[in-house]
Homo-oligomer: A and B are copies of this chain.
Amino acid sequence: MTWLDLPADTGFGLENLPYGVFSPADGRRRVGVAIGEWVLDAGAVAAATGAPFAHLLAGPVLNPLLAAGRPAWQQVRRALVEWLTEPAFADLVRPHLQPRTGVRLHLPIDVGDYVDFYASEHHATNVGRIFRPDSDPLTPNWKHLPIGYHGRAGSVVVSGTPIVRPTGQRKGPADPAPVFGPSVRLDIEAEVGFVIGAGSALGTSIPVTDFADHVFGVFLLNDWSARDIQAWEYVPLGPFLGKSFATSVSPWIVPLDALHAARVAPPARVPQPLPYLRDAEDWGLDLAIEVRLNGHRLACLPFATMYWTPAQMLAHLTVNGAPTRPGDIYASGTVSGPERDQRGSLLELSWGGTQPLTLPDGATRTFLEDGDEVTICATAPGPGASRIGFGEVSGTILPAERRAS
């Protein structure tokens, strides 16, 4: 039990303790931990208590903590629990708590590489049906490997960053030549992201069973997508400008250690994957994700339905010997469940723009309009009756930059 007053239904209880980076007003960036409605200045408490790991929490990003490896992650987590439960620490800790509403949250990590997967069978099937209605919706490789590609790390931004509508080339089937202008099919992709803590050397790989030694934590991600730009550019080398203009992430990294109760068996995989993708202890995560547009709930996404597990994605990413570094991230790809209201993109929700959505206020949407605000949030089961909150990732669409042609 903590000596702090926490709301009964907080997603930021003692069981969670997610890490972020905050600054009070315009002050220095500090490593913080969310607890109830508060943010704990974890670096300040570590310094005040003379903790041997204080340098890992000195900021301005989480990368030193990430690089320190799992024993250090567990040591810091034990200390956080002690600080927040032992009454003897209350007087020391209390001055380092401040309301979360009063601080600014920053991108918590220096992102190394960013890989985006395509691990939802329902999403991949929907996309295949929309774009290739006459052929098998899944490509022949889909059930043999977690398909992925590299995104742009430099355009990963923290929740709340305004998203300028991207400009570029597009060419519809009826257009004689490509046209240039702001995207008219701007979309979201609701995803779950994973951050690498301990890296791996060039020429080595990370077996599925070593997942928890390498992955520090989990967050939410909106991989904004310009479907018209993407459709014209993506053959043969994959998505590029249709995605690289912005990817928003939630500010709180939920430690993997907070998600034991959220582990669930993944769906049956047929055919059986190759041995490097097999794990007797295979597990997915039971996150319930919600997508809101201008405050209206658009969809609820069951992450437990993902075909490929986080451990399989990482084993695949490194099976060729690609190195990983602290701060590398990878994401699941759009999370979609089997039902119509469980789809994680407007592309699927509006079925390629052919079935406009009607919002409760009477507005209709196929794709995003300027001024639209999209928010993605999630929770997962914690120990007992508790819930683990992921906070949210949100962004508002600004009009395209004006420019010549």
Contact = CB atoms under 8 A, between A and B. Distances in A.
Contacts of A404: 275-276
B147 A202 contact: no
Contacts of A178: 141, 144-145, 274
Nearest to A327: B154
B322 A244 contact: yes
A325 B152 CA distance: 11
Number of copies: 2
A57 B109 CA distance: 27
B148 A237 contact: yes
A276 B178 CA distance: 13
Interface in A211-243: 226, 229, 232-242
A113 B153 contact: yes
Interface in A114-161: 115, 118, 139-141, 144-145, 147-155, 157, 161
A236 B202 contact: no
A316 interface: yes
Interface string A166-178: 1111010000011
Interface in A379-405: 398, 401, 403-405
A317 to B, nearest CB: 8
Indicate the size class of the contact surface on chain A: 35 or more
A269 to B, nearest CB: 14
A171 to B, nearest CB: 8
A232 B319 CA distance: 15
Contacts of A147: 233, 236-237, 240
Contacts of A236: 139, 147, 234, 238
A320 B149 contact: no
A246 interface: yes
A328 interface: yes
A382 B46 CA distance: 58
Given A139-B235, A274-B178, A322-B155, A144 B164 contact: no
A21 to B, nearest CB: 18
Given A145-B169, A167-B321, A320-B241, A246 B150 contact: no
Given A177-B271, A319-B168, A112 B154 contact: yes
A307 interface: no
A257 to B, nearest CB: 25
5 contacts: A144-B171, A150-B244, A155-B202, A241-B322, A245-B321
Interface of A: 112-113, 115, 118, 139-141, 144-145, 147-155, 157, 161, 164, 166-169, 171, 177-178, 180, 202-205, 226, 229, 232-242, 244-246, 271, 274-276, 316-317, 319-325, 328, 398, 401, 403-405
Given A155-B323, A167-B319, A203-B245, 19 more contacts: A141-B169, A148-B237, A148-B240, A149-B240, A150-B244, A153-B153, A154-B325, A157-B202, A167-B205, A177-B271, A180-B276, A202-B245, A203-B401, A205-B403, A226-B320, A234-B237, A241-B322, A245-B322, A275-B404
The 10 closest A-B pairs by CB, nearest first: A238-B238, A275-B405, A166-B320, A164-B203, A150-B150, A149-B237, A241-B320, A244-B322, A245-B320, A237-B238
